[in-house]
Amino acid sequence: MDKPRILEIDPVTRVEGHGKVTVHLDRQGNVNEARLHIVEFRGFERFIQGRLLWEVPVIVQRLCGICPVSHHLCAAKAMDRIVGVDQLTPTAEKMRRLMHYGQVMQSHVLHFFHLSAPDILFGFGSPAEKRNVFEIIRQNPELGRRAVLMRKYGQEIIEATAGKKIHGTGAIPGGINRNLSTERRDHFLAQIDEMQDWALEALALARDYCLREKDFIAQFGAQPSNYMSLVRPGDGALDLYDGNLRMLDARGEAIFDQVDDSRYHEYLTEDVRRWSYMKFPYINSIGADDGWYRVGPLARMNTADLIDTPLAAKAHEDLHAAFDTPLIHGVLDNHWARMIEVVHCVEKIRELLNDPDLQGTDLVVKGERRHEGVGVIEAPRGNLIHHYKVDENDQVTFCNLIVSTTHNNEAMNRSIRDVANKHISGQEVITEGMMNHLEVAIRAYDPCLSCATHALGQMPLKVELFDSNDVLIDSALQSP
């Protein structure tokens, strides 16, 4: 090997949205730099300006066809504040929570079974023709069937609470526009035991994988970092729908804690870099170089003091008992964390379905109008922030979105660099399996690049090798 090379993965398969990875190799074949690039941008924040505040929770769902509910609820939470509402009615909050737990459950199930399971079950160095979901289904059709039915269950909950799959209108500024009929409640309750059994089996699958591969996971893209999420006021419990911001350092010490989420901008700054459309948020008190952090399922397992549902609480304790460090840093441990959250969501769905408040009729609250509002929610992929300003004509004049993939931007870049160093540096031949190692590191964050760039769409995947003169010397194409 006598020439520096640039390795490109363009774009990344089984990741939501658009992205490209480049790995720059020096003359000795060692990794100089590894970056995740975003190659498309459409300005959603600008698009939303001029829109009426009432329509924003519906319009923002068009950011992404995969997590529209997260944007719908987050925008509604921001608009609650603008219409002067700090406390929803019990029916409104519980209907929104039901919608959210249905969304997180179905998103996590999709990611685990259909995007990541081929890597987990077959090994991500295994032949590409084997490493796919159809092979899983061939070997274990029941697993594949359950995944589809669990996702369908979550989707049906979304439809029942949001109104419909496209352009759901359930959450409105100040409340909700429907309750849950007893007929629908009974429909969901009839399946909840099965959902819980399947969730626990999926949790066992993820846990066993993470324990079996503990040594490998400890060095695969893993790095101590800061972690942020919402936590419940008071006891610091996991709360996916609402709470205050908590940021812990790698040793588990608080950098900031129980911060009102509307003050996020006093604690975080979004840095811009020349080579990416995605911003790089950092913690103000630490600075741009070292103030990066992670969000998402593993971050939430790190930041939460407890989980308030019994089965997930036990799983949360088991997770921390498996490690002798205050926090857990393995990027692939996100799989374990994700399945704990699926169990938690199923438990929460059961709890809510048994709550008569879901059939309540007090749906909307009004308050004194404000001109600015921030909504924060824990979306499947992590913390999501919507920030709006609205003028006296009810038109949006300012919009800022920080999605979980943006929060994780620097962490993903560092994980890619780590994996590239360990698995590509010094190799004469770059195999498809090596390439997949990079993708596995990215996929563990479950990034949604459409959301991160506020773009819409999709793209296929290409891998390219360039020499020191940027001349293409090798390439590989993977089907989308």
Partner 1 sequence: MTVLVIGYGNPGRGDDGVGPALAERIAALGLPGVAVDCDYQLTVDHAAPIAGAGHVVFADAAVDLGAPFVFAPLSGEAPQTLGSHTVTPQAAMRLAGDLFGHRPAAHVLAIGGRDFGEVAEGLSDPAKANLDAAVSFLAGWLRDAGN
- Residues at the interface with partner 1 (CB under 8 A): 13-17, 42-44, 47, 59, 61-62, 65-66, 68, 106, 110-111, 114-115, 118, 128-129, 132-134, 137-138, 141, 144-145, 147-149, 151-152, 155, 164-167, 450, 456-458, 478-480
Query: At which residue do the structure tokens 């520096």 appear?
Result: 4
Nearest to partner 1 of 76, 449 (CB atom): 449
Percent of the chain that is helix, strand, coil (3-state, to 5):
45, 20, 35
Shortest distance, CB of residue 151 to partner 1, whole angstroms? 4
Nearest to partner 1 of 129, 368 (CB atom): 129
Angstrom distance (rounded) from CA 81 to CA 74: 11
DSSP 406-461: HHTHHHHHHHHHHHHHHHTTT-SS--HHHHHHHHHHHHTT--BHHHHTT------E
Q: Which of 341, 203, 226, 332 is nearest to 287 (CA)?
A: 226
Nearest to partner 1 of 221, 380 (CB atom): 380
Shortest distance, CB of residue 261 to partner 1, whole angstroms? 26
The alpha helices in 272-357, defined as continuous H runs, are 297-303, 310-321, 334-353
Nearest to partner 1 of 233, 480 (CB atom): 480
Nearest to partner 1 of 139, 359 (CB atom): 139
Q: What is the C-alpha R_g of the chain?
A: 22
Nearest to partner 1 of 4, 11 (CB atom): 11
Angstrom distance (rounded) from CA 9 to CA 24: 12
Shortest distance, CB of residue 460 to partner 1, whole angstroms? 8
Shortest distance, CB of residue 273 to partner 1, whole angstroms? 24
Shortest distance, CB of residue 14 to partner 1, whole angstroms? 5
Nearest to partner 1 of 128, 237 (CB atom): 128
What amino acid is encoded at 480 in this protein? P
Shortest distance, CB of residue 330 to partner 1, whole angstroms? 24
Shortest distance, CB of residue 9 to partner 1, whole angstroms? 14
The alpha helices in 87-228, defined as continuous H runs, are 90-109, 117-122, 133-139, 141-162, 182-212, 214-219
